[in-house]
Structure 1
Amino acid sequence: METDCRRTEGARPLPAGTRLLHIGPHKTGTTSIQGALFAAKDAMAAHGVAFPAATRHPMEAVLAVCARPGMMGNTRPTDKHWDRLVAQVDATGDRTSVISSEFFADAADDEIVARVVRELGGERVHVLVTLRPLVKIMPSQWQQYVQNGLRMGYEDWLDHMLRKAPYEKPNPSFWRRHRHDRLVERWARVVGRDNLTVVVVDDRDRGGLMRTFETLLGLPADLLREVPDTANRSLTLAETEMLRKLNVEFRGHELPEELYSRLIRYGAIMHMKNTCAPSKGEARIVTPPWAVEAAAAVGAEITERIGTMGVRVIGDPALLSAVARPAAAPTTPPAPAGPPRVSAEAAAQALYGALAAAADAPVRHTAPVKARTVQQTSSKDLVKVIGGRALRRLRRH
């Protein structure tokens, strides 16, 4: 295995006309690089590099080709989304181009991978995989699953992912994405080991991933810059627990999934993220020691297997199995006892976000109100009535 522990100094420009396909996986700097590429698309074009997608992240197109249903409550993507992206890539002609989506990592088998590669350029495609240690990915991925309706607590989820083989519940996508050796092997079988590069992301070098992309694409240094994105910030432990318990209530009352997508994900949570910055003292999601050790052991297996594949690796593979040791003396005060509490400001902004999303679909009464007061109606029936009305509004909208 060819490695370069000096990170981007080992990267070399790809041949002109290459179609660089960045497949993630999730939580490896994908959102940051997608934002930078999209913001610099005009500047890149002046240097002969095209960003063919019409949006920062062509998620619907990639979900469609990978036969994935999409986020809970969202409209299911179709082949029209994928065909549109393929046409945009074809329109770049002989120019170098770059497409990035972490959902390419969800491609379940060689047939899907082969279709993606064939329709995006065949031999011109060079696949880029970005990797981070599993111990850093797991808390971020858990809270992302919670934002899509997961009701399981963090330690219970870790127990299922790391101790309860075959590790398919409650999120079968996790190891498809994050058993990184199998991910690399799956794509290398199709494109060949010479057409696949692995980049080990070093979180201590904030601009390292940007510089690697610039080098691979033949772009000037510092052309790609991080774009602030508050909507992509991670939730705190209290915020995640608030949402997780809301998920329990939502599922328990069998409300329509469309309501979740509109009112919760794109209403309450999005507004809270955009308006509330967590303070330094707020509790973060902490992985217990047993899970840290287990994730590091899997990382060591991943590193060893990738080392036998003959693909190019940029960065230090040892980072994938490193275990951070605690300092000799604590540098921060211990967390307060008891369950985490979400701030009043965050709760208020989340509630406002849901109300604002609901207000986008004004109520139109088309039938007389039944002669039954709120006090005479059970809570469960009230929730069903409100959910039904909101769903009808969404459909009209």
Structure 2
Amino acid sequence: MAAKSSPEQPLPLRSVLQMVAQWIGRLGTVWAEGQITELSARGGTVFLTLRDPVANVSARVMCPRGVYEATAPRPVDGARVVMRLKPDFYVTRGSFAFTALEIRPVGIGELLARLERLRQLLAAEGLFNAERKRRLPFLPRTVGLICGRDSAAERDVLENARRRWPAVRFTVEQVAVQGPYAVGEVTEALRKLDADPEVDVIIIARGGGSLEDLLPFSDESLVRAVAACRTPVVSAIGHEQDTPLLDLVADVRASTPTDAAKKVVPDVGEQLALIRQLRDRGRRVLTGLIDRESAWLAAVRSRPSLADPVREIDRRLEQVDALRERARRCLAAHLDRAADSLEHLRARLVALSPAATLQRGYAIVQRPSGEVVRLAADVAPGEELSVRFADDRIRAITVPDPPR
């Protein structure tokens, strides 16, 4: 095309658009999945916008009325469908659009299977792990609330929260909670509240609905946005039996919007009752401690050592005197027994002493070496001996016996 045109020989615009239409026409048909929005019918043609449920991408689609009416059930705004599309470029208007050749609604079973695959993927990434969930503050300064416009969920949360704690403050973000714009508006409100330093907890609330109505709260982009929040998030979507993926990634799951208000805001009556109970318990504990210490002090004061200290000294003095007298008696008895024993020993010694024998007129004959002579035959003639008497001794020389 560039080779056949120049500033001197430009191509007519109709020719350029015809070439574009021919090039687009060679693309053929394609099956695409999306969500229907802006549905309208004029004459024999149904006009709609097919939106990607994850990315912010959409395209215009024209559908012959016969194709649209042949689809059972007929698609409505917000429906998830699979279409066989043929790209067309309209030369007269210079615009691009798809022509729908066949429409197939996405069934509940297929939706559930896709949600299950997405749940397994996010669980494998750890987005549902309990350790990453944060505890809610005891009394938040400001509660961020994301809900539908003039919805019953908003009234339930506000009324129950203010009934429990009248001073609680809310920052409410009203958004679309179903349909093609729900994911984008909820995500934007979530980011806005998460960036507000005054907001300590965020509640995402919506009433009950069908699986298709609650699909925005299982959207992957919204789930990842909740996981990335620094502020704790409470999910209050639908009823007890409804479990969108938002419930799994949120820090706290509430079964209903009313339950979310009870989980986020403490009951002032319950807290006052708890304070009274704790105060009474503290008073009882303190009174019991004082009573025990008083009883112990009274018992200590009643002891004789403190009631009459001098009496204890006198008692100890009496014990010392008694022990001293006992020691004196014991010592005197020991001395008397020792004196008697000494006297007995002395008498025995005197009785057994050779001196007593010498006093009776006997003498002891000894050699100069001190050896006692016991037999006369042991003495040789001329041998010098010592004769010991009781008071003195004499020296003697033996002479032989005269012949007979």
Compute the TM-score of the two structures, normalised by the length of structure 1: 0.23
Tell me: higher relative CO, structure 1 or 2? Use CA pairs within 8 A at least 6 residues apart: 1
The structure where strand makes up a greater share of residues is: 2
Query: Highest Rg: 1 or 2?
Result: 2
Compute the TM-score of the two structures, normalised by the length of structure 2: 0.22
The structure where helix makes up a greater share of residues is: 1
